[in-house]
């Protein structure tokens, strides 16, 4: 993930936003005290997307996913038009 942020610095806010949105519950109560998603969640995402929990998505696909998830979080914050 650090490599993609170095090659595409514009993606860093999206990367941080996605990490925060997927953080484990009570992350502050367990070492290493970082708001990271649970390993089981990442494995499930890779299994459903690629058929293999140990798969590594291509950098371009990962960047597209981060941009998409940022757009979706923005849209979810908008008030509904009544």
Domain ranges of the chain: 2-22+37-76
| The predicted structure's pLDDT at residue 7 | 81
Residues of the chain with pLDDT under 50: none
Per-residue model confidence (pLDDT) at position 36: 84
- Report pLDDT digits (tens) over 37-56: 889 999 999 999 999 999 99
What is the predicted pLDDT for the residue at 10?
84
Token look-up 């970082």 returns 34
Q: What is the pLDDT of residue 51?
A: 94
The pLDDT value given to residue 19: 84
């Amino acid at each position: 993930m650090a490599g993609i942020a170095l090659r595409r610095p514009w993606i860093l806010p999206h990367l941080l936003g996605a990490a925060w949105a997927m953080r484990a519950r009570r992350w502050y109560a367990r070492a290493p005290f970082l708001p990271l998603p649970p390993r089981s969640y990442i494995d499930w995402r890779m299994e459903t997307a690629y058929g293999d929990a140990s798969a590594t998505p291509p950098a371009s696909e990962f960047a597209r996913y981060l941009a998409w998830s940022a757009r979706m979080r923005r849209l979810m914050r908008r008030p509904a038009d009544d």
